[in-house]
Structure 1
Amino acid sequence: MKKQLTLLFLLILSVAAYAQTGSVKGNVSDNSKEALIGVNIFIKGTTQGTHSDELGNFEISNIVKGDHVLTVSYLGFKSKEIPFSISENQQVDLNTITLYEGNEILSEVTVEGKRINKFSRENTAYVAKLPLKDIENTQVYSTVTDELLKSQIVTNFDDALKNAVGINKLWASTGRGGDGAGYYSLRGFSVQPQLVNGLPGLTNGTINAANIERIEVLKGPSATLFGNSVTSYGGLINVVTKKPYVGTGAELSFTTGSFGFNQLTGDFNTAISEEENIYFRLNTSYSTEQSFQDAGFRKTFFVAPSLSYKVNNRLSFSFYGEITQAEQTNPMFLFLNRSAPTAAKNLKELGYNTKLSFTSNDLTLLNPTQNYRVEMDYKLSDNWRSQTLLSKSITSTKGYYTYLYDYGMFGDNVFTRRLNKQNSNTHTTDIQQNFIGDFKLGSLRNRVVVGLDFFNGVEINNGTGYISFGNVKPNGETVDDGTGNAYPLSTAAVDAALANASVSNNKSEYSIYSVYVSDVLNITRNLSAMVGLRVDRFNNDGDVTTPDDDYEQTAFSPKFGLVFQPILDKLSVFANYQNGFTNVAPQLVSETEDGPQTLKTFDPEQANQIEFGVKTNLFNNRLNATVSYYDIKVSDRVMTDPASPTNKIQGGEVVSKGFEVELSANPIDGLDIRGGYSYNDSETTKTDNENILNRRPLEAGPESMYNLWASYEIQQGKLEGFGLGIGFNGASESYAINYGSSGEFMLPEYTIGNASIFYQASNYRIGLKMNNVFDKEYYTGWTTISPQTPRSVLANFTYRF
């Protein structure tokens, strides 16, 4: 009887507590009264929250009676806090909540809820330096979302970029000083990832995937808003990192797989002070992996602290840091001869044993990297705000760098090992001040950014010169160079060989002072124009001990675009003119690899693009597509001299044109699809070098590239939470060598299949992924030949709490 009375008492209490709850509902739209889908809505100080549906509606139930604050946030829009009170069994209707476009300094809160089209492009304030919807942006860009990365169990940056249309890996991150990050082809031109949260962020090694919120690949010359130091004529790569959010949460993840891969990651978010709106987030990872070849490894420790402080509704601060400690063997490339015919014309004739690394785990590189960013956002008025940004990057390389080069001196298909001891570091500083406005002149709406930008880069090189260290064939056979010397791949043997090598003592510096303005003018509600201009002053000090290489240049970079939306926010037709330029810094060059180096200066390069296409956002965001055609012309191009890999020449003109199709769809609940196709036709149309005239540049990569990924998760029933993913990516054949003097060497086309299976519940996820399902042998290269990873398996367990 005593137990029964106790249970009855508890039941009465629970009923009473339930009776003292209520609910809140409403609708969220933008200032043009269009519904916003997937907006984050939550009760401040609780874990209760939801997302707005296809019509912008939302409802939160079981709210305890009393006073509350509803926080409404959405990427690219200013967050809003709405106080309300709940009495017993009351339903509060907030009617329509209007969000106004704003910045991304304080990220939106992440709550559990239904998100439509998980793989679609996201609205972003980075691409235009304005809070602009993709469908009204004249520039084309691809977004690789965190949902897509989780679906594919992506553990490295190269695999993440396979989801961006039109981008192809040329060679992997080498870790070498100055340019050790990976190289990729984009619209016919090479590009490296050098932008983090819209600001310069350098690395001599691979970017860690543990802190990626999304990757934005901007297409075409983009110097007007971003300058020339971090962009390419084909576009740029911007990595958006994870940011603090309002609330408390954590996630631990362990991934293991083939070739000795193990990775442990952690993501922790907490409030330092809820009353003062100070939130802290920490992302960290430790990973080790080995090569599929006979030697090679990489181990990395990464930590990324971030802090957000919302002082009040007018002022907010953010801090982001990324610190990496990495040790690796650099990937071994077979460099083909650029000036003389190579005996082999294809891989079969080369006889390449891809299981051989031609290096040892004794020869390693250390690549510590630090990136820091501080942001301050201040609301000046209802129409204007100020954004002050500071970024610092420090990246270093220390250790042994090696590669194989076909000199053609010791017989057919004989490669000489070249190596040196790296000891270099690069420091960059970037300061930006933006004034962002949203106002009307008469009946015309203007969204304007006016910015000042200062960039400074310092490079220090104290490495040794290169020496030759033995000869080998791609099948692994050692070839005597006539000295009878043995060449053990040990640090002792290499250090002895380098004892008499020259040691550099070079420090170079350059600064860029810029002012830019961009205005998106709404001529009508359906027709808008974007006009922009950058004035860029380049101040090069070159070698700080040599005044002869100092020079200054001024460049102008205009931009113009039109967007017409026949169906507002659902269908747009666009056209753009975009400009890029490069103040090519003097470079240390030599006529021969072993010859004396001299500093050589160049005129600025210029690139101009014309592009037009269509963007869609149909069926309540369930179908996003972009179709575009572009034509880029580059003049005064600086190129590697095919007669000497250590020399540069200028005077080339390159034309690159093509089209791209990108699609993301959510046709039914649980099924998400992402795919694309690109075609590029590039040609060197003007040059004094007959070896490359009317030929496809090597950095252009394959003509055709394609990718697809589809993921389906069962939505209800006993198998709810189970799902599978399947997809492929591939490319047409490409040139590793394409010179008149040395002929052609083609890398074959490839199509790589991938598949996954997973189960996810409210607080954990288990996944199994197989890459390169059919164990396809394929290669990438840029005057090089680099075999890619064969079939591999990854298993992941993630727990959220």
Structure 2
Amino acid sequence: MKVSKILSTTLALLMLATTYAQENKGRIAGKVLTSDNSPAAFINVLIKSTKIGTMTDESGAYSIKNISYGNYTLEFSLMGMETKTVDIEVNAPEVKINDIILNENQEQLSEVIVIAERLNQFAHKESEYVARVPLKNINNPQSYSVVTNALLKEQINTDLPSAFKSITGGGYVESNDGNVSVYLRGFRSDVHLRNGGIAWIKAPIDPQNIERIELVKGPASLFYGANVNNVANFGGIVNKVTKQAYSGKKLDIGYITGRWDQNRATIDYNTVLDKEDQVYFRFNGAYNTENSFQDQGIKREFMLAPSLTLKLSDRLTIQGNLEYNQSKRNLNFARGLSSNLISDSVNSWDDLNWDFDTNYGTNEMAGYFSSVVSQIKIDYKLTHSWTAKTTFTKANSFTDANYLRVVMLDETNVGRYYLQLDPRETDNTHIQQDFLNVIEGEKIDNKFVAGLSYLNNLDDTQRTGVWNAIDAVDITNPVITGLTNEQFEANIADETKNKTITKFQTLGFYVFDAITLNKELTFTGGLRFDRFMSDNTISNGAEGSNGYNQNALSTKLGLAYNPFDDKASLFVNYMDGLSNNAPSDNGNGEIITWDAERAKQFEVGSKLNFFNGKLLSTISYYNIRIDNDIIVDENGISSQTGETLSKGFEIDLIANPLPGLNIVAGFSKNNATLEKVSSGREDLIGNSLSYTPETVWDFWLSYQALKGKVKGLGFGVGANHMSEIYNSTTNNFGSDAYTTVDATAFYKKGKYKVSLKVDNLLDKEYYNGYGIPQKPFNFRVGLFYSVF
């Protein structure tokens, strides 16, 4: 009955909004060119005497939808260039505007764009993936943050984990497979979303092909279903947006060298393949070699990422892209210690007697990793308001490696264990089909999406045992026995190798609607039906009987009030997230089909956009409660009565107080605790969840001179802080709090740019949440050249 009421209300609002908003409306589209016939990107396009406008893309193209029939004046402008205007008449569903030719040539415009890009260059907030409908950030009743490509380039990030230094919402750590795990609002989400599609990769990924990183806060079941493999956990999702081919020509090459024999080369090439300007090709590549700061450890890796865009007509656009990563590197599993060592004086990794600069492994044990992701996106405009969006994602990874786990056994002995993956192969296929309807009227805007999602996931792992011990190391006489992969494999050749295959599928149907009244009050609502289908596990060719299916509904509701002409809004939301539970014995001999674990979030906050976009901020308080964890009572009987609570406060700030001066900062305060637990574990009540820092803050400040004798010279400085991180819910051991400082200096003149980056400027010795020693003082020098 409750679901029926929600559906009825949603459909009624949709019909009302659609009926009210429908009138004679058209779409205008065109292109802006420089005086030498090159595409003019980032030009502001405004319908004068209105608040309606857009910006040209990298190909110089623009379009504005849902314009009421009538006569208008279009204005084309960018700070530092001459403004152009043209009179138009909208009298048809599609109105094509003749090319606008600027007075500036490409070189002159590039100089203007350099200045414009420094105007709050870190403030890219709009996204097609957050709400699946074109909803402005100020009207979106949900928190999200974006790490832009401009910020990634300025900080000279050469690996995926360092790209997360400027996130807001929680801590992050390099995962055991070389990817990244982000602990958003107390819950782990891995980086497995790519352009809104699921690409489950268990291997290292190079950051060269990343355009931006989006962190969408709160349970994400509406669009991505129940959380499986840490794709869409209760705290939010992480989405990588990759570089796509566009109309224009570019060739950027770069070389970076740094401490520990780092050498890195990158390329970003884009071109137009046909005279009709409809087919575009782009290629990104990277080659990176680096040694560890410790006595052992290497990285030898490269990445290739071609992409193709076909604009077959005004109605049909197809984008295809592929990314291949290959790596040879040493990987370290989360460290451990004997519980007998933990005391009041020994409660962090720093208190143990092992050597910070010793890896306890060998370069010869480096493993092999590779991954391939391919995506096809098809956008087809069905009518002036309806668009069909299809996304197909195929991802697979291959691992032939032995993960080193170091365990402090007692005060003087370090145990060494290897987890074998020989090999591990993963494969996933994800298909999304969205139907988007956008109607913008004088009084009501209605943006609606209905879609389906299908995911097929396979994990095929072969390994001998679990933790295979090799010689321990006595720290009083540290003789580390050299070992190669071949020798290790030979030592365990007589033991049984186990092959395990797990497979599951998910199928989801969802609707989401955003209705805006008088450009001020936005209501959002969504509903999803999700079916999870887990196959029986196959172990050494024998099929088990642990497969199960589970159905669940998830909802998302929100309200945003924007009464100050897009300068400030208040918002509130409710959304829930799911995590599947397999049927199991409840301790009384009865097999119980459990409900999916459900997290319910309530969030309230404010979004600010002051001084014409020079200051952006999101401030929010959230409360996420799980009240159906499976716990065991004093009689050994299981029930879904356990409780977990995560609540906190977040603020992010992006500012451009002066020309050339940019600031990005974030602060997160989170308390994620156990509230009701199994009998006999009452001592855990009130304890923090594992690997979740309570306080995280960061900032990055940069300045570039835009004129004068030192034009092009710039500096940047930033800091990152993470509070204590516990490695278990007993909260008696973990990583000490730490603060690190980074800095950069750069000079850009014409097509050249030279950069110097220093990480961990104060040479702080610290461990991440998994107990892995982190890099000390480190520097890199980069030379970048734009050929055209």
TM-score, length basis structure 2: 0.83
Q: Is the partner of 1:308 in helix, strand or coil?
A: strand
- Work out the CA distance in 1 between the residues paired with 2:628 and 2:54: 47
Letter in structure 1 aligned against 2:494: N
- Work out the CA distance in 2 between the residues paired with 1:462 and 1:532: 41
Q: Is the partner of 1:160 in helix, strand or coil?
A: helix
How far apart are residue 745 of structure 1 and its match? 1.4
Corresponding residue of 1:566 = 563
Corresponding residue of 1:107 = none
Letter in structure 2 aligned against 1:401: Y
Corresponding residue of 1:683 = 673
How far apart are residue 174 of structure 1 and its match? 2.5
Pair 737,459 (structure 1): closer, same or farther in 2 beyond 3 Å: closer
Equivalence map 1:405-420=2 (5 Å): 405-406=407-408, 411-412=410-411, 414-420=413-419
The answer as to 2:757 corresponding to 1:758 is no
Pair 130,699 (structure 1): closer, same or farther in 2 beyond 3 Å: farther
Pair 383,463 (structure 1): closer, same or farther in 2 beyond 3 Å: same
Corresponding residue of 1:402 = 404
Corresponding residue of 2:720 = 729
Query: Structure 1 regions of 5+ residues with no counterpart?
Result: 1-17, 45-54, 64-68, 71-77, 93-109, 480-485, 588-598, 641-647
- Work out the CA distance in 2 between the residues paired with 1:749 and 1:85: 56
Corresponding residue of 1:777 = 765
How far apart are residue 344 of structure 1 and its match? 3.3
Corresponding residue of 1:305 = 306
Q: Is the partner of 2:428 in helix, strand or coil?
A: strand
How far apart are residue 765 of structure 1 and its match? 0.9
1:215-270 CA distances to partner (integer Å, 9 max, x unpaired)? 00111111111223421111111000011111111100111111121110101101
Corresponding residue of 1:429 = 429
Q: Is the partner of 1:496 in helix, strand or coil?
A: helix
Pair 273,473 (structure 1): closer, same or farther in 2 beyond 3 Å: same
Letter in structure 2 aligned against 1:288: T
Letter in structure 2 aligned against 1:721: G
Corresponding residue of 1:249 = 250
Aligned CA-pair RMSD: 3.5
Q: Which one of 537, 554, 563 corresponds to residue 551 of structure 2?
A: 554
How far apart are residue 347 of structure 1 and its match? 4.1
Letter in structure 2 aligned against 1:294: D
How far apart are residue 775 of structure 1 and its match? 0.2
Q: Is the partner of 1:463 in helix, strand or coil?
A: strand
Corresponding residue of 1:577 = 574
Corresponding residue of 1:102 = none
Corresponding residue of 2:684 = 693
Letter in structure 1 aligned against 2:98: P
The answer to whether the 8 A contact 1:777-1:788 is kept is yes
The answer to whether the 8 A contact 1:294-1:356 is kept is yes
The answer as to 2:598 corresponding to 1:610 is no
- Work out the CA distance in 2 between the residues paired with 1:568 and 1:337: 60
Q: How many residues are treated as equivalent by the alignment?
A: 704
Corresponding residue of 1:195 = 193
573-582 or 689-698, larger mean C-alpha shift: 689-698
How far apart are residue 582 of structure 1 and its match? 1.3
The answer to whether the 8 A contact 2:431-2:454 is kept is yes
Letter in structure 1 aligned against 2:247: V
The answer to whether the 8 A contact 2:58-2:248 is kept is no
Q: Is the partner of 1:135 in helix, strand or coil?
A: helix
Pair 795,689 (structure 1): closer, same or farther in 2 beyond 3 Å: farther
The answer to whether the 8 A contact 2:316-2:380 is kept is yes
Structure 1 vs Structure 2: percent identity of aligned residues?
Answer: 32
Q: Is the partner of 2:431 in helix, strand or coil?
A: strand
The answer as to 2:729 corresponding to 1:749 is no
- Work out the CA distance in 1 between the residues paired with 2:215 and 2:42: 37
Corresponding residue of 1:790 = 776
Corresponding residue of 1:151 = 154
- Work out the CA distance in 2 between the residues paired with 1:414 and 1:654: 37
- Work out the CA distance in 2 between the residues paired with 1:25 and 1:629: 35
Letter in structure 1 aligned against 2:133: L
Equivalence map 1:440-479=2 (5 Å): 444-470=444-470, 472=472, 475=475, 477=477
Q: Is the partner of 1:149 in helix, strand or coil?
A: helix
How far apart are residue 456 of structure 1 and its match? 0.6
Corresponding residue of 1:225 = 223
Q: Which one of 716, 719, 728 corresponds to residue 710 of structure 2?
A: 719
The answer to whether the 8 A contact 1:467-1:501 is kept is no
Equivalence map 1:369-380=2 (5 Å): 369-380=371-382
The answer to whether the 8 A contact 1:247-1:269 is kept is yes
Letter in structure 2 aligned against 1:565: N
- Work out the CA distance in 1 between the residues paired with 2:48 and 2:300: 49
Q: Which one of 638, 658, 682 corresponds to residue 668 of structure 1?
A: 658
Corresponding residue of 2:116 = 114
- Work out the CA distance in 2 between the residues paired with 1:37 and 1:474: 66
Corresponding residue of 2:6 = none
Letter in structure 1 aligned against 2:77: N
The answer to whether the 8 A contact 1:187-1:700 is kept is no
How far apart are residue 213 of structure 1 and its match? 0.5
Letter in structure 2 aligned against 1:129: R
The answer to whether the 8 A contact 2:201-2:426 is kept is no
The answer to whether the 8 A contact 1:565-1:571 is kept is yes
Equivalence map 1:131-280=2 (5 Å): 131-170=134-173, 172-175=174-177, 181-227=179-225, 228-229=227-228, 230-275=231-276, 277-280=278-281
The answer to whether the 8 A contact 1:695-1:738 is kept is no
How far apart are residue 566 of structure 1 and its match? 2.1
Letter in structure 2 aligned against 1:683: T
The answer as to 2:513 corresponding to 1:493 is no
494-503 or 323-332, larger mean C-alpha shift: 494-503
- Work out the CA distance in 1 between the residues paired with 2:209 and 2:277: 26
1:584-635 CA distances to partner (integer Å, 9 max, x unpaired)? 4689xxxxxxxxxxx9996521111000101011111000011100000124
518-527 or 451-460, larger mean C-alpha shift: 518-527
Query: Structure 2 regions of 5+ residues with no counterpart?
Result: 1-34, 62-74, 88-92, 105-111, 585-590, 633-637
